[in-house]
């Protein structure tokens, strides 16, 4: 369906390390303080694929916004490769749950926005073409977002992120709104992309199976304000098989950590 | 029994049905225009009109041309389709001209000079074309200059108060207080505050056009989905880029609604300014002609004014359709 590169053995990692050091964050809500993150500390190695699991509204997405540099934390520090994160940077791109494509730009121009903003579009035109090809949408390069299906739009959003050659890919439930078949296909595509590019990936998801199928490590958060409740490795080789008994076992453990043991 | 079967349309007849409908509509339309020509020459004019004969010839030629196109529609598929589509309108226009001709020029069913016949209005164009052209160009200049200034200033104000809270703090109260005031109510002040009546008129038109553009641009910029800014910022777009690459394109559909409303306001301001202020322009010409009770000139000028207004709106909508082709379901004009 999609012309992805054949999954190879992980290449030498180009990903960055992330250091989340005792970060707390809160929002002002009609005068009262809503605490969303409570002393969260997390070290992410270069090239890791970390999935963040937790109850709805616990503050996972807020943590991603802080990593992206879209907001500064109330206290604590965030570092990329040891450098403090002070604002957004194209080395840390975000793919949101909504594709958020710019409707007035064609697929090509959406993907080209990063290089355009950094003033390198003239040198990177072929790279834009190649990235659109990578997500299998060469024929739709001239289409406008309203002409795309949900899955195609999210692929464009992925391409728009990938074209910047990010060191950290921040994925905020990127497959959350897709139908289940498209979702399964794109999970495999994400793994292949990550394995071929070697970036560090941080994924927020509500889907325990998705987290276990994709990631090398799962971090489970508590109710708001979010604290790290559990942090474990998913020590299974890629490409993974959805029917793997070890996955089922990990899934049961994860659901128990999320307080859903009764349903199993 | 044989004649019954003969009356039933054959297969070829059914297939050619479309062609026959076109031919029939076209012929009837042509005949209605020819009837108007006959009405113009068959009776004596009750007034002193110079273009009756030319009018009859022109309408007659149009009538013959319509009939010819209708008969030849087999070989002129596009003209044939046009005749079929426009046919009912052509018939109505032809019959209207018959009634108008008889009522105004021949039997005096409507009072003169308030309802002149077609040849009376044509006479204005053939005898006073240079004067009409002067006034038309004067109006056109007022409209273009005033509207452009108003739209540009309104757009800049709208973007700045939509973007910057500081600009909003200072401009918003002024906009709320002055904006809803009909621009024309400032007439008495404007015409002594400005050095010339021309600059005063430009100010009035710009003011009338600026307000809707400012308000709609502002609301467009203020309502841009903040997720667009997040995405753009993570891709490395800087603040100025956020305005030009995100805020303005996202607000553009709103801006065009503002421009559309601004055009309407500008037309009103234009005619009012011309009626009371400047000594040139279609509005002035209408006023002046009315003073001489030459109503044919009033109608001739009104037709020009309608063309100017309708043409401006068509141009605006064409521009919008080009710029906003990424949107779905645009209203056709």
For B:190-229, CB contacts with A below 8 A are 225, 227-228
Instruction: Identify the closest residue of chain B to A93 by CA–CA distance.
Output: B234
Considering only CB atoms, which chain A residues are within 8 Å of B246?
102
**Å between B162 CA and nearest CA of chain A:** 19
pLDDT of residue A8: 42
First to last CA, chain A: 35
| Run of H or E including A40 | strand A32-44
pLDDT band at B18 (very low <50, low <70, confident <90, very high): low
pLDDT band at B76 (very low <50, low <70, confident <90, very high): confident
CB–CB of B233 and A88 under 8 A?
yes
- Note the pLDDT tens digit of each residue in A8-51: 444 445 788 888 888 889 888 888 888 888 888 889 989 899 99
pLDDT of residue A129: 93
pLDDT band at B4 (very low <50, low <70, confident <90, very high): very low
pLDDT band at A6 (very low <50, low <70, confident <90, very high): very low
CB A161 within 8 A of CB A199: no
- Note the pLDDT tens digit of each residue in B85-121: 888 999 999 999 999 999 998 898 988 889 999 999 9
Share of chain B above pLDDT 90, in %: 53
Q: Strand pairing of A49-53 and A32-44? A: unpaired
Beta strands in A87-216 (DSSP E): 92-95, 168-172, 200-204
Task: Measure Cα distances from B264 to A94, B137, B208, B210 in Å.
Answer: 44, 19, 9, 12
pLDDT band at A261 (very low <50, low <70, confident <90, very high): low
Instruction: Identify the closest residue of chain A to B227 by CA–CA distance.
Output: A100
Considering only CB atoms, which chain B residues are within 8 Å of A70?
230, 233-234
Write down the pTM of the prediction. 0.80
CB–CB of A96 and B241 under 8 A?
no
- Note the pLDDT tens digit of each residue in B146-173: 999 999 999 999 999 999 889 989 998 9
The yes-or-no verdict on residue B224 having pLDDT over 50 is yes
Out of B148-152, B182-186, B269-273, the most confident range is: B148-152
The yes-or-no verdict on residue A206 having pLDDT over 60 is yes
User: How many C-beta atoms lie closer than 10 Å to residue B325's C-beta?
Assistant: 10
Cβ–Cβ pairs < 8 A, chains A and B: 69
- Note the pLDDT tens digit of each residue in B297-306: 999 999 999 9
The yes-or-no verdict on residue B14 having pLDDT over 80 is no
ipTM, two decimals, is 0.86
pLDDT band at B2 (very low <50, low <70, confident <90, very high): very low
Instruction: Identify the closest residue of chain B to A170 by CA–CA distance.
Output: B234
**Å between B105 CA and nearest CA of chain A:** 57
Q: Is B252's Cβ below 8 Å from some Cβ in A?
A: yes
CB nearest to B326's CB, from A65, A88, A103? A103
- Note the pLDDT tens digit of each residue in B26-58: 899 999 999 999 999 999 888 888 889 999 999
Q: Residue B279, exposed/middle/buried by CB under 10 A (0-12, 13-18, 19+)?
A: exposed
The mean predicted confidence, pLDDT, of chain A is 85
**Å between A186 CA and nearest CA of chain B:** 21
CB nearest to B236's CB, from A94, A106, A118? A118
Considering only CB atoms, which chain B residues are within 8 Å of A93?
234-235
CB–CB of B236 and A117 under 8 A?
yes
- In 3D space, the residue among B165, B242, B222 whose CA is nearest the CA of residue A88 turns out to be B242
Cis peptide before B154 (omega within 30 of 0): no
pLDDT band at B10 (very low <50, low <70, confident <90, very high): very low
pLDDT band at A177 (very low <50, low <70, confident <90, very high): confident
pLDDT of residue A13: 52
Half-sphere exposure in the Cβ direction for A225 (13 Å, CA): 13
The yes-or-no verdict on residue B1 having pLDDT over 50 is no
pLDDT of residue B73: 77
pLDDT of residue A10: 43
pLDDT of residue B263: 93
| Run of H or E including B258 | helix B248-276
- The least confident of A158-162, A209-213, B78-82 is B78-82
CA distance A199 to A182: 23
Out of A60-69, A247-256, B69-78, the most confident range is: A60-69
- The least confident of B7-11, B15-19, B231-235 is B7-11
Give strand pairing partners of A92.
A168
Considering only CB atoms, which chain A residues are within 8 Å of B328?
146
The yes-or-no verdict on residue A115 having pLDDT over 80 is yes
Q: What letter does residue B102 receive in the DSSP assignment?
A: I
Share of chain B above pLDDT 70, in %: 92
Q: Which of B232, B235, B240 to mutate to test the interface with A (most CBs of A within 10 A)?
A: B235
pLDDT of residue A15: 84
pLDDT of residue B209: 94
* Average of per-residue pLDDT across A50-61: 85
pLDDT of residue A262: 58
The yes-or-no verdict on residue B15 having pLDDT over 60 is no
* Average of per-residue pLDDT across A121-143: 90
CB–CB of A103 and B225 under 8 A?
no
CA distance B61 to B66: 9
Considering only CB atoms, which chain B residues are within 8 Å of A104?
249-250, 252, 324, 326
The yes-or-no verdict on residue B5 having pLDDT over 50 is no
pLDDT of residue B90: 93
């Amino acid at each position: 369906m999609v012309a992805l590169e054949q999954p190879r053995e992980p290449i030498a990692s180009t990903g960055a390390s992330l250091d989340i050091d005792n970060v707390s964050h809160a929002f002002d809500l009609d005068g009262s303080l809503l605490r969303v993150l409570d002393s969260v500390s997390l070290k992410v190695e270069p090239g890791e694929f970390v999935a963040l699991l937790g109850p709805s509204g616990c503050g996972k997405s807020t943590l991603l916004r802080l990593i992206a540099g879209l907001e500064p934390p109330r206290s604590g520090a965030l570092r990329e490769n040891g450098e403090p994160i002070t604002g957004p940077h194209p080395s840390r791109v975000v793919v949101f749950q909504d594709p958020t494509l710019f409707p007035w730009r064609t697929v090509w121009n959406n993907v080209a926005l990063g290089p355009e903003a950094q003033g390198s579009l003239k040198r990177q035109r072929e790279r834009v073409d190649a990235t659109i090809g990578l997500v299998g949408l060469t024929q739709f390069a001239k289409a406008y977002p309203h002409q795309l299906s949900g899955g195609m739009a999210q692929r464009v959003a992925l391409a728009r992120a990938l074209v910047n050659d990010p060191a950290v890919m921040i994925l905020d439930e990127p497959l959350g709104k897709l139908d289940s078949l498209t979702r399964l296909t794109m999970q495999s595509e994400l793994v292949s992309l990550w394995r071929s590019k070697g970036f560090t990936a941080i994924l927020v998801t509500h889907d325990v199976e998705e987290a276990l199928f994709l990631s090398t490590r799962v971090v489970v958060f508590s109710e708001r304000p979010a604290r790290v409740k559990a942090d474990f490795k998913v020590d299974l080789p890629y490409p993974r098989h959805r029917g793997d008994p070890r996955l089922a076992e990990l899934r049961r453990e994860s659901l128990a950590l999320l307080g859903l043991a009764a349903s199993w | 029994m044989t004649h019954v079967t003969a009356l039933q349309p054959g297969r070829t007849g059914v297939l050619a049905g479309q062609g026959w409908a076109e031919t029939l509509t076209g012929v009837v339309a042509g005949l209605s225009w020819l009837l108007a020509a006959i009405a113009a020459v068959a009776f004596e004019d009750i007034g002193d009109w110079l273009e009756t004969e030319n009018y009859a010839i022109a309408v007659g030629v149009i009538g013959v041309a319509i009939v010819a196109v209708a008969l030849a529609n087999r070989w002129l598929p596009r003209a044939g389709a046009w005749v079929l589509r426009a046919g009912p309108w052509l018939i109505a226009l032809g019959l209207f001209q018959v009634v108008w001709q008889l009522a105004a020029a021949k039997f005096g069913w409507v009072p003169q000079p308030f309802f002149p016949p077609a040849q009376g209005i044509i006479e204005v164009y053939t005898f006073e074309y240079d004067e009409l052209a002067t006034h038309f160009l004067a109006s056109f200049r007022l409209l273009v200059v005033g509207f452009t200034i108003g739209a540009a200033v309104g757009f800049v104000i709208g973007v700045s108060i939509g973007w910057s809270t500081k600009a909003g703090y200072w401009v918003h109260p002024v906009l709320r207080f002055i904006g809803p005031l009909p621009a024309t109510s400032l007439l008495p002040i404007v015409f002594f505050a400005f050095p010339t009546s021309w600059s005063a008129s430009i100010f009035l038109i710009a003011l009338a056009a600026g307000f809707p553009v400012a308000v709609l641009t502002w609301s467009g910029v203020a309502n841009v989905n903040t997720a667009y800014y997040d995405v753009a910022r993570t891709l490395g777009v800087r603040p100025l880029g956020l305005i030009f690459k995100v805020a303005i394109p996202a607000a553009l559909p709103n801006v065009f609604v503002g421009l559309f409303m601004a055009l309407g306001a500008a037309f009103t301001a234009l005619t009012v300014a011309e009626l009371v202020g400047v000594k040139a322009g279609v509005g002035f010409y209408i006023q002046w002609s009315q003073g001489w009770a030459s109503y044919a000139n009033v109608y001739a000028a009104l037709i020009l004014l309608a063309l100017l207004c309708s043409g401006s709106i068509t141009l605006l909508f064409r521009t919008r359709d080009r710029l906003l082709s990424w949107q779905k379901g645009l209203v056709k004009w």
